[in-house]
A and B are shown apart, each in its own frame.
Chain A
Amino acid sequence: MAGHHDEFIKLEGKIFTRSFFVMLTLVVIGFFFIGVRYVKGIGAVSNMSDGYPWGIWIAYDVATGTAIACGGYAVAILIYIRNNWKFHPLIRSALLTSLFGYGLAGFSVVVDLGRYWNSYGFFIPSRWQINSAMFEVALCVMTYTLVLIIEFLPAVLWSLENSKGVTLRKVADWLHPRLTPDEARLASGLEWVRSSAAWLRPRLDKVLVFFIVLGITLPTMHQSSLGSLLLIAATKLHPLWHTGFLPLLFLINCIYIGYSIVILESIISSNAFKREIELNELSGLSRIIPWLTVIWLSVRVGDLAYRGQLGAAIKLDFYSCFFLLEFLLVAGGSIILFSSRMRRSPRWLFITAAMIILGGGLYRFNVYLIGFNPGQGWHYFPSIAELMITVGVIALELLGYQVLVKLFPVLPNPKHAGSGHKTADNSHHAGTHEEILPAAVHVGK
């Protein structure tokens, strides 16, 4: 917390890259269909029906997307509860992904809600319905998104504190002939922002731990409740997935997905941004995953055995195939990760993390869509427009991540040699600035 800012760096580079525009195009297409949905109704863009009232927006964007967004949660447990501070450099990028994942899950829900204008009912106690798992999920997810913003705030404050408002000034200069803004007032305004950021940051740092712990409690609650959501579908959800253990399974599931996504994301961003891989941290993370998956798989199999459904699991029909696929992906990835040699190989880390995310994600898909059978005559496969809305939301997430890692110190600093050491780059402290330091990386603190 205090004193950890040199662990993170801003990524140097242009914001408007080619991938930026590719993502932007996808976002625009997605938002076009969202527009259609609001004008012509959900039926105009979606293949959802009265039998399948929840489609891919809920199954992917909410149920699976928030699990993938559990990196921040999983890493926070590791650091603050398991006292493993060497993982601290990973936390900001994990938090940022979580923030996007949850924010956009919330956004997708608003697209999905038929009578969204009544959503304020969540804040009216007389309408609360505490028996509803969805009520719990909704309140928790909203609160958690706020908590994530607060957790990410130190990075923003640091940037405000250390920026001289170059872009703002450029814009002001460009406007100058037209609007003749008051140079002095602009400067004093900037100074005010900077000094309040400097005032707020250490104070926030002191209480941040309470928000971080809230950021561990809330996902524990709502991730298990995401499993509870389908408890009610006793007659619709296939017995391979419908069990009283749904909340527990969803909880463990999101934690191992969380660690896997941190690994995956870290390797991808190291590749994309041409940075060194944080191999020590990542292989440390990967050591935890198989233990979690072993617990999860045991609960899964034990529960099936207890309910006498093992036969259904190996029947090789439609449902059994999806069960086996999910099972083999998670189990396969975990077995590979038990080998310490594999854990040191970026390639295998990538493959196993991807397998576990796919398997764990498929589990959630199975619960929400594939294992869900409302009765004869109902079928669901997402429409193109429906898919493009989800793709647009994912693109928005990637786009935001790309931009924000260039605006704020988010990514781990490769030159940071662990806590307790001052890095050589501290000499740049006062002068670190885009104008005078054309170095590859900008070092905080």
Chain B
Amino acid sequence: MSKQSRRSFLKTIGFGGAALVASTTGLSHASEQPPVNNEALGMLYDATMCVGCKACMTACKRVNGDFGSLAFEKAPFDPDGLWDAPQDLSGSTRTLIKLYKESDKEWSYIKYSCMHCQKPSCVSVCPVSAMTKDKVTGIVDYNKDTCIGCRYCQVGCSFNIPKFQWEKTLPQIVKCDLCKNTNLKEKGITACAQTCPVGAISFGKRRELLDIAHARLRDNPGRYIHHVYGEFELGGTNHLYLAAVPFHKLGLPIVPQDAPAEFSEKIQHTIYKGFVAPVALYSTLCFIALKNQKRQDSNGNGEDDK
């Protein structure tokens, strides 16, 4: 009797295990890349052209301040709050210019903001669809009215872009939305790109931006690291970078070409495809449990509450 049940038990476990194993082994040879949308909107930041004036930061906060509930950040030396002096991207700052200085010869500015990935992790992990990716524009947008503040998007983002308002009683996530609801809507261009006095930020469709980037690499091969950061990183991003200093020194992490969301979704989908596996598991277990219980009851347990 117990042998019988053991066999069926093992069978059940086998099914579940097989499903899980299939899910994980199926990954290795599933390398077909999803199509890249080169018509999506994006930006190209050329670190060699940036003069570090931070006009883009100011413009961003001026334009998006009310909409994104962004505050000015005081510096320790400035108790009167005359300057906005964020140290890093934060719950009050969507874009930031930093200086990387290795020596007097080797230095570079760098601008941080959302990379607007082709396959964004934040959108993939958000349980309540507060992070969305626009199919046409490719903009990764955040909706505070559905967000529950679980911060899974922060865990998921390889670039550490989404920021949380830790100090607020009613906090929200803050990240660049390509001025979707503000400057882009009104003027057709992001505030930072519009403001940049030296043209270090180009705004446009990804295809055009890639053309510009590759043209610059071709025309001035000595000036740049020969790589467009974001062209292939994590399945491609719509925010692209050119620089003269290795990108990882500028705080842009060395990441694989596969989007983590492809990997995780594949496993999740294999386990839960059509909800078949859970239903099958439930019905199999029900069958076994009922059989066992009937056997147990008829086994002279004898006490019946009927």
Contact = CB atoms under 8 A, between A and B. Distances in A.
Interface of A: 1-6, 38-44, 46, 48-51, 53-54, 80-85, 109, 112-116, 118-119, 121-122, 126-136, 138, 201-202, 205, 209-210, 212-214, 216-217, 220-221, 224-225, 228-236, 243-245, 247-248, 251, 374-375, 419-420, 422, 445
A6 B304 CA distance: 12
Given A54-B151, A231-B268, 17 more contacts: A6-B303, A38-B169, A41-B168, A43-B167, A50-B162, A50-B163, A50-B166, A82-B2, A113-B148, A114-B150, A114-B164, A118-B148, A127-B128, A129-B127, A214-B282, A231-B260, A232-B121
Contact of A3 (B163, B164, B255, B305): B305
Contacts of B12: 81
A210 B173 CA distance: 41
Contacts of A85: 296
A132 B125 contact: yes
A118 B278 contact: no
Contacts of A112: 150
Interface string B1-41: 11001100100100011001101100100000000000000
B302 A43 contact: no
Interface residues of B, number: 82
Contacts of B169: 38-41
A209 to B, nearest CB: 5
B125 A133 contact: yes
B285 A216 contact: yes
B155 A375 contact: no
A50 B160 contact: yes
B267 interface: yes
B281 A217 contact: yes
A375 B160 contact: yes
Interface string B128-142: 110000000000000
A243 B255 CA distance: 16
27 contacts: A1-B297, A41-B167, A41-B171, A49-B166, A50-B166, A53-B155, A80-B292, A82-B6, A83-B295, A114-B150, A116-B148, A118-B149, A121-B146, A126-B129, A131-B268, A132-B152, A133-B125, A133-B268, A205-B305, A209-B290, A214-B282, A217-B282, A228-B264, A232-B125, A234-B260, A245-B20, A248-B21
Contacts of B303: 2-4, 6, 422, 445
Contact of A44 (B6, B167, B256, B288): B167
Contact of A217 (B168, B263, B278, B293): B278
Given A41-B169, A121-B146, A217-B281, A420 B301 contact: yes
Given A233-B156, A233-B260, A136 B292 contact: no
B117 to A, nearest CB: 12
B128 to A, nearest CB: 4
Contact of A51 (B146, B160, B173): B160
Contact of B24 (A82, A109, A119, A248): A248
A122 B128 contact: yes
A135 B128 contact: yes
A81 B9 contact: yes
Contacts of A138: 127
A224 B148 contact: no
Contact of B171 (A42, A82, A84, A109): A42
Contacts of B168: 41, 43
Contact of B1 (A83, A114, A229): A83
Contact of B127 (A116, A132, A201): A132
Given A3-B302, A83-B296, A134 B152 contact: yes
Contacts of B167: 41, 43-44
A45 to B, nearest CB: 10
